[in-house]
Structure 1
Amino acid sequence: MTGSTMAPDVVPPTAFDSEQALLGAILHNNDALDRARDHVQPGDFFEPLHRHIFEVMIQRRDAGEAIDFGLMKAVLGNADLGGQTVGGYLAKLVSEAITVSGAASYARLIAQAARMRRVLETSQAAVAAMTDGSVRSPAEYAAYMIEALDEVASAGLSESARRVTLGQGVASVLARVDQTRMGKGIIGVPYGVPKLDTSTLGMRSGQFVVLAGRPAMGKTTVAIHIALTATRRNGAVGLISLEMNAEELSERVLSAVAYNPREWDQITYRAIAEARGLSDAAMARLRDATEACADIPLWIEQQTGLTLSQISARARQMKLKAERMGIPFAALIIDHIGLIRPSKRYSGNRVQEMTEISSGLKGLAKELGIPVLGLSQLNREVEKRQDKRPILSDLRESGSIEQDADVVLGLYRDAYYLEHKADRSDVEEDRLARCLNTLEIEILKQRSGPTIRIECFCDIACNVLAEAR
């Protein structure tokens, strides 16, 4: 009996004893199958005969029939059992059976061995591809490996997307309610704007949140503020920047961290980029800010033109990294979703492409059990209106994004339009002076909560956001 298709000089990882013990436990008590099948699939079994037995067991269980010795004898028939009789082999399975309560643990060992074999097979295939000349560059080789191993990496991350009973669901809610009432629970990842957090309960696990606005409305400023708040309170945050590189983003972060409302001369990120005009005092503040940022788990992915599958792979890697560090992976931020490179499936049909992307981001949030925040540009129809505050229909390809998003936040800065208006009247000059650092965040959509408008203090030049007093 063998399930190996690998090179003869390589011993593949197996969990042969666990396979036998699990099958024996199912024969002893059919309930063990129900506990095991959430963790292991027939294809995870190394031994082909065990794989076949497990498949038949699932079919019999789903049909509402008993799994017993008579069934197994019919399944095994004249199979090669290494010199053992069918009865003797079945007796061996039962004698080495585990308890029902241990079925899930053995199932996980079997699945883990299967994933290890997949890693080995992929590595061997990659080496073969390099030596036969079909892979021509390191980047091509790495892309092949990432794509091939993504399924393995994600296999252990889907607990949050698994089926649960109503009883389990409501018990989980009640436990969270008890923890929150005692001041121990966390409802959602905070935005860092108290009124917004109160109105939305924060960014909750599995939510797809859209932050929308026209250019220069402050999307990146708000996103960085949310990211810094989340890393300080909840854990690691991944920032997929499809527009700016890591240095540009870091300049904005430094400006925000170095900001001191008691100082009259703030350090803008433009001044940091220019560098020459910075005073010794400003440099001292920047060094303090750099030290403060050293241990902030904000991970920036700056590669442009990523596809949805590549973003998903990097997000899974970030979650695994956070788990190895012993901290939660709090949130994923994407700047911005309009720059995600679509697959070729709907080539040329932008609406279908965006539908695939937005539904994929919602699926990723559920899979990883984290909120995914996607920045989105509004279309130019906004500019044609007298009141340029955003509405849901202003979202580009809004049908799919509006449908998939759990929360949509619209950003608006009246100061931007006043600053760019020629021949301002005295009334408009006065209005500009009063709203120069005002940013409006409007909840345009929320599945379970109010839609309100919140005024914030926002120093765009320093990348600083705070709730207005």
Structure 2
Amino acid sequence: MTVMEKRLDRQILALAPEPAFRAPPANLEAEQALLGAILVNNDAFDRVSDFLKPDHFAEELHRRIYETAGQLIRAGKIATPVTLKTFLGEQDLGGMTIPQYLARLAAEATTIINAVDYGRAVHDLAVRRELIHIGEEVVNTAYDASVDSSPRMQIEEAERKLYAIAETGRYDGGFQRFSEALARAVDMAAKAWEREGGLSGVSTGLHDLDRMMGGLQPSDLVIVAGRPGMGKTALATNIAFNIAKNYRFELRPDGSHETVNGGVVGFFSLEMSSEQLATRIIAEQAQVPGYKIRRGDISESEFHRITAAAREMQAIPFYIDHTGGISIAQLTARARRLKRQRGLDLLVVDYLQLLSGSKSRSENRVQELTEITTGMKALAKELNVPIVALSQLSRQVESRDDKRPQLSDLRESGSIEQDADVVIFVYREEYYLNSKKPPEGTAEFQEWQQKAALAHGRAEVIIGKQRHGPTGTVELAFEGEYTRFSDLAQEDHLPARM
């Protein structure tokens, strides 16, 4: 580099502005005004405590004042400069003591009418500071990422934190007039009356089941449980595909889609790959046994049915995530993303026990499953869609003579029964009869043959719990080679015999 070039570089550096160091956004005056209002009239605390937490204050002393005042008020005591100073200790505030500072806050307080506005200002600035913190963390983690940390994991963690901010401390909750809830209930009834099938929820495509449940209701957590081999995955897959296949929508004025029939489906397949799940659905729709599709042992007509079914299936809004071993936090983040990007009317999780909690692994499995079911119910309410989650049953079913499952058979945690709005059990007598076939030619074989003939191709869906409807049993037809459930042809539904 020449002397001239060095001189030019120095001149450029001298002209460049010095980097500005920005302080995180805060409004200490709003914090002081709010605390003063609380000290003058404790009713101001009740107006903001629903959404405002001590951590939302930028100044550490303000956090302590707000937290201590809250503890006193909740204990039925009065929070004033006199009662608070005992709990805050001694601290030099630049020539002012804490008792003097509290007295000044109360003396300069404005009316409590503005308390909510001040509280919202403090809350919003706290959210901005948290966003800045997350942004810095994302940048630093991306620079200093470890070998075993993938970008996808970092994205999911950032999404989780962003949604945690969005949902924590919201100030749009609280009590509402009963008339508002009443209007929404009447609107729901009107839509059910207009909708095909007259259902308030999303139709499962199985009419007998819909009659018992009124369809799958928004914000409901529906547990489908059964022992291995009963067909719970097949039932969930059939319902999910029926809903996606019947999807119809109308355009809103803002260009978004409003579902009028069927729905957009998200399917978390934690046990099977997306290819295995697709093979099951193709087998069901094309009526070609799945084992023949996997072996390639199919005729020309079967191949044409498969390709026709595949063409029809390509257009339906059915989205599969087959990542194994994800946590409830990851599932929540991905479901929110799907709702935002594609829309969502039904979420299916296959199955519950393959999810992990987001807390420390030292906790026992019962606590972990409680966190999972609580999180899933909260997600159903937040997204306002039904969530169908599959669950295993304990082995105690096998030790009973009557192997029909009960609520007490739900595996690992009572939280499944507690958090679920609907619990459905899938039971097939045929499965157990086939495993107990006696030798041919005996009296037991003739009795078994009669029972097997009655149970062949039949399945029972037992509604063990339903918050807004009856419990009972629905009989369905089950075609094992196609893993397909359908309505059973009842005697009173058949055409009249000549």
Q: TM-score, normalised to structure 2's length? A: 0.68
Aligned-partner residue type, residue 152 of structure 1: L
| Match in the other structure for 2:376 | 364
Q: Deviations over 1:72-123 (max 9, x none)?
A: 9xx9x98579xxxx9999999979x996775676466334313312312322
Q: Deviations over 1:33-64 (max 9, x none)?
A: 65544444332344557656765775686567
Aligned-partner residue type, residue 340 of structure 2: E
Residue number among 291, 302, 312 corresponding to 1:270 in the alignment? 291
Q: 1:52 to 1:252 in 2, by over 3 A?
A: same
Distance 1:192 1:159 in 2: 40
State whether residues 219 and 375 of structure 1, in contact with CA within 8 Å, keep that contact through their aligned partners in structure 2: yes
Shift of the alpha carbon at 1:211? 1.4
Residue number among 221, 225, 228 corresponding to 2:234 in the alignment? 221
Q: 1:355 to 1:450 in 2, by over 3 A?
A: farther
Residue number among 136, 144, 153 corresponding to 2:147 in the alignment? 136
Q: 2:191 aligns to what SS in structure 1?
A: coil
Alignment of 1:33-112 (within 5 A): 34=46, 36-46=48-58, 106=121, 109-112=124-127
Aligned-partner residue type, residue 362 of structure 1: T
Shift of the alpha carbon at 1:179? 1.2
State whether residues 35 and 105 of structure 2, in contact with CA within 8 Å, keep that contact through their aligned partners in structure 1: no
Q: Which one is further off, 186-195 or 364-373?
A: 186-195
Q: 1:195 to 1:65 in 2, by over 3 A?
A: farther
State whether residues 373 and 416 of structure 2, in contact with CA within 8 Å, keep that contact through their aligned partners in structure 1: no
Aligned-partner residue type, residue 211 of structure 1: V
State whether residues 50 and 171 of structure 2, in contact with CA within 8 Å, keep that contact through their aligned partners in structure 1: no
State whether residues 409 and 444 of structure 1, in contact with CA within 8 Å, keep that contact through their aligned partners in structure 2: yes
Shift of the alpha carbon at 1:416? 2.4
> Are 1:282 and 2:290 counterparts?
no
* Aligned sequence identity (%): 27
Q: Which one is further off, 221-230 or 34-43?
A: 34-43
Distance 1:161 1:357 in 2: 30
State whether residues 39 and 107 of structure 1, in contact with CA within 8 Å, keep that contact through their aligned partners in structure 2: no
Distance 1:338 1:219 in 2: 14
Distance 1:289 1:398 in 2: 41
| Match in the other structure for 2:160 | 150
Aligned-partner residue type, residue 444 of structure 1: G
Distance 1:272 1:107 in 2: 62
Aligned-partner residue type, residue 286 of structure 1: A
Q: 1:367 to 1:277 in 2, by over 3 A?
A: closer
> Are 1:373 and 2:388 counterparts?
yes
Shift of the alpha carbon at 1:452? 0.6
Alignment of 1:376-387 (within 5 A): 376-387=391-402
Q: TM-score, normalised to structure 1's length? A: 0.71
| Match in the other structure for 2:282 | 254
Q: 2:134 aligns to what SS in structure 1?
A: helix
| Match in the other structure for 2:188 | 180
State whether residues 221 and 460 of structure 1, in contact with CA within 8 Å, keep that contact through their aligned partners in structure 2: no
| Match in the other structure for 2:426 | 411
| Match in the other structure for 1:291 | 314
Distance 1:144 1:437 in 2: 48
State whether residues 337 and 374 of structure 1, in contact with CA within 8 Å, keep that contact through their aligned partners in structure 2: yes
Q: Deviations over 1:369-426 (max 9, x none)?
A: 1544332223334334443322334333364544444432111122323444434645
Runs of at least 5 residues in structure 2 that lack an aligned partner in the other structure:
1-18, 96-100, 194-198, 248-260, 490-498
Distance 1:389 1:160 in 2: 45
Structure number with bigger Rg: 2
Q: Deviations over 1:250-272 (max 9, x none)?
A: 2223344x35xxxxxx2344344
Aligned-partner residue type, residue 277 of structure 2: L
Q: 1:136 aligns to what SS in structure 2?
A: coil
Runs of at least 5 residues in structure 1 that lack an aligned partner in the other structure:
1-7, 260-265
| Match in the other structure for 1:316 | 333
The alignment yields a C-alpha RMSD, in angstroms, of: 4.7
Q: 1:455 aligns to what SS in structure 2?
A: strand
Q: 1:111 to 1:344 in 2, by over 3 A?
A: closer
Aligned-partner residue type, residue 122 of structure 1: E
